[in-house]
DNA sequence: GCCCCGGACCAGTATAGACAAGCTGGGCAG
DNA sequence: CTGCCCAGCTTGTCTATACTGGTCCGGGGC
């Protein structure tokens, strides 16, 4: 059986990609070897990863080195190992760390999937009473507004509805959101000082439901985020995630 | 065919404390050896931990085994290692984590409302395959189970479904939950070391919906929590909150 | 007094060899 | 055909040994 069809596998000598930094430790090179194949699509979720012995042969490393690489990837949740059967690419349940203000594009790419964004609305508007209160500006003050849908592959993973204070982060609407996410733009223009989050569950209104391509009655996770820069509110964001395809992960421990 | 030929490797002298389970892997025994000394106060925060070579001598293990134990404890944040200097017990700084492991009774009372609890089910059961996996115990091992509803005034605010490992937190079922919440009991009996959370949104099944007195089709927030004590899983908890009446707050301060 | 160098000790990494235990599939006996 | 066992794969673990580079300290040369 062609266990491992070995599309490349130059067998003996320089089996490790020369693009890798030789300075890195061997076990890290092996980890990258696996991660690159996952990111590149050569290895997909559920598929079998070369066994320790196979790696020993194809990469010319000792079994302990291959073992450490696979074991650490398993500890990270990238791989799943079953004694006597093999090592497999983990089914990726979507994860995010609520404590960190993360970039959803990075998150998606880190899982080896294609990131796409659809710009639904870009606008400048004047603050309602409620918005003004949350931004601590005067009612009627100008605010930038964006409504985007972020896709993982072809599936919407987040609807991002965002208000930005142009006094704190000027030029928001001139940003090319297909190249720079709101998050990336904001941390560049208005260094993040602090962020507040609230998380709740709801069955979304039709507008959000359509953008997330949800069935009627499906739940979604709403993360409301308020970010501060230079002591002022830089932006308010409502992040909607499909309840069935998204979960927040958090480890609670002094690291 | 030496399947059951030798139940354990009798090759090595019994240098490790006999209180430790002999079935456990050596590197786990070394980890427990360190953790016990930290828990017992023999090793305090900032103090130096025996070096790999010292452990090799005193515990009669190979250096690779000691290395793995120390490396994993460092990865868990228990130890801090500095090449060329040594290994030290990490300073346990107080963490204001967004998803702090909080006591719901305190939370409700802090808002000036009356806290009440209804015990739905208390039971001892044997671990299913899936539970055993998440607890890292053998399938069939005894687990304690509780299902409670926490009320704010007359309104249910949380359904708490919890599994507890009696090996780590004995006497759970004998606790009077009308006076001591599971959380209070557990932090007293099994000092919290670490907690993992995942948060998701869903439309609950009928059982949960009834306990929370929700309308059909209402969303709820599910917080799945896994707590660790002494390096072992102490408990699994599924915390269901009504989406309309509950939100999770999280503040994020970059260091 | 200051600087440099070497030795001691440390973690980090790599290798080879070994045994244990779990799973799967094929072959064999009934 | 059914049931069982076993070969052969897998991961999991442990040991012994070796070399590297970082840190610290003390001693000797300047």
Same domain, A109 and A56: no
A84-CA/D1-C1' distance, Å: 29
- Residue A249 domain-assigned (yes or no): no
Domain end point (choices A89, A117, A132): A89
3-state secondary structure of B119: strand
CB nearest to B194's CB, from A217, A218, A253: A253
| Average pLDDT for chain B | 78
- Residue A3 domain-assigned (yes or no): no
A169: CB partners within 8 A, 6+ apart = A185, A186, A189, A190, A229, A234, A235
Per-residue pLDDT at B166 exceeds 70? yes
Same domain, A43 and A75: yes
CATH number, residue B219 = 3.40.1410.10
B221: CB partners within 8 A, 6+ apart = A199, A200, A201, A221, B199, B200, B201, B240, B241, B242, B243, B246, B247, B248
Domain end point (choices A61, A89, A117): A89
Per-residue pLDDT at A195 exceeds 60? yes
B198 touches chain A (CB under 8 A): yes
- Determine if strand C comes within 7 Å of the CB of B10: no
- Determine if strand C comes within 7 Å of the CB of A48: no
B254 touches chain A (CB under 8 A): yes
Same domain, B108 and B216: yes
- Determine if strand D comes within 7 Å of the CB of B5: no
Model confidence band, residue B40 (pLDDT cutoffs 50, 70, 90): confident
- Residue B149 domain-assigned (yes or no): yes
Lowest-pLDDT range of A17-31, A127-141, B188-202 = A17-31
Residue range(s) defining the domain that contains residue B25: 1-93
Per-residue pLDDT at B43 exceeds 90? no
CB nearest to A248's CB, from B94, B198, B254: B198
Q: Average pLDDT in the A16-27 region?
A: 55
- Residue B33 domain-assigned (yes or no): yes
Same domain, A80 and A108: no
Same domain, B114 and B235: yes
- Residue B253 domain-assigned (yes or no): no
A220 touches chain B (CB under 8 A): yes
Same domain, A79 and A137: no
pLDDT for the residue numbered A70: 92
Q: Which residues in chain A are closer than 8 Å to B251, comparing Cβ atoms?
A: 194-197
B253 touches chain A (CB under 8 A): yes
pLDDT for the residue numbered B92: 55
Contact criterion met (CB < 8 Å) for A201 and B219 = yes
Model confidence band, residue B188 (pLDDT cutoffs 50, 70, 90): low
- Determine if strand D comes within 7 Å of the CB of A62: no
Same domain, B82 and B130: no
Same domain, B169 and B145: yes
Question: Is the pLDDT higher at B223 or at B254?
Answer: B223
Same domain, A67 and A150: no
Same domain, B233 and B124: yes
Total structural domains in chain A? 2
Q: What ipTM does this complex have?
A: 0.56
Domain end point (choices B93, B124, B154): B93
Distance CA A167, CA B140 (A): 62
3-state secondary structure of B204: coil
Answer positive or negative: Cα dihedral of B95, B98, B104, B110: positive
CATH number, residue B19 = 1.10.10.10
Q: What is the DSSP string of B32-92?
A: HHHHHHHHTTSS-TTPEEPPHHHHHHHTT--HHHHHHHHHHHHHTTSEEEETTTEEEEPP-
Q: Which residues in chain A are closer than 8 Å to B237, comparing Cβ atoms?
A: none
A46-CA/C26-C1' distance, Å: 26
Contact (CB, 8 A) for A94 and A157: yes
- Residue B129 domain-assigned (yes or no): yes
- Determine if strand D comes within 7 Å of the CB of A64: yes
- pLDDT, one tens digit per residue, over A135-189 is 988 889 999 999 999 998 888 999 999 999 988 888 899 888 887 888 878 866 7
Residue with tokens 């690489």: A69
Q: Average pLDDT in the A17-42 region?
A: 71
Distance from CA of B170 to the nearest CA of A (A): 23
- pLDDT, one tens digit per residue, over A42-61 is 888 889 999 999 999 999 99
Same domain, B126 and B194: yes
- Laid out side by side, the sheet with A115-126 consists of A115-126, A142-152, A155-164, A232-242, A220-229, A194-202, B248-252
A217 touches chain B (CB under 8 A): yes
Same domain, A153 and A217: yes
- Residue B108 domain-assigned (yes or no): yes
- Residue B250 domain-assigned (yes or no): no
Helix (H) or strand (E) holding B160: strand B155-164
Six-digit token pair at A237? 């964001």
């Amino acid at each position: 059986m062609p266990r491992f069809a070995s599309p490349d596998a130059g067998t003996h000598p320089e089996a490790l990609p020369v693009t890798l930094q030789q300075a890195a430790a061997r076990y890290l090179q092996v980890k990258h070897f696996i991660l690159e194949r996952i990111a590149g699509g050569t290895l997909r979720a559920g598929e079998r990863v070369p066994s320790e012995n196979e790696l020993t042969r194809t990469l010319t490393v000792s079994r302990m080195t291959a073992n450490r690489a696979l074991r650490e990837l398993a500890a990270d949740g990238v791989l799943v190992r079953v004694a006597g059967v093999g090592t497999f690419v983990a089914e990726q349940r979507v994860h995010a760390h609520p404590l960190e203000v993360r970039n959803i594009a990075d998150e998606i790419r880190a899982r080896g999937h294609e990131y796409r964004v659809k710009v639904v609305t870009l606008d400048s508007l004047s603050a309602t009473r409620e918005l003004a209160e949350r931004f601590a500006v005067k009612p009627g003050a100008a605010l930038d507004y964006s409504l985007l849908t972020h896709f993982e592959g072809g599936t919407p993973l987040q609807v991002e509805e965002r208000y930005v204070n142009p006094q704190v982060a000027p030029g928001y609407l001139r940003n090319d959101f297909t190249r720079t996410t709101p998050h990336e733009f904001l941390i560049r223009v208005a260094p993040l000082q602090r962020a507040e989050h609230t998380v709740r569950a709801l069955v979304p209104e039709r507008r959000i439901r359509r953008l997330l391509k949800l069935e009627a009655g499906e739940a979604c996770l709403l993360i409301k985020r308020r970010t501060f820069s230079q002591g002022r509110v830089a932006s308010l964001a409502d992040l909607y995630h499909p309840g069935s395809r998204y979960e927040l992960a958090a480890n609670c421990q002094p690291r």
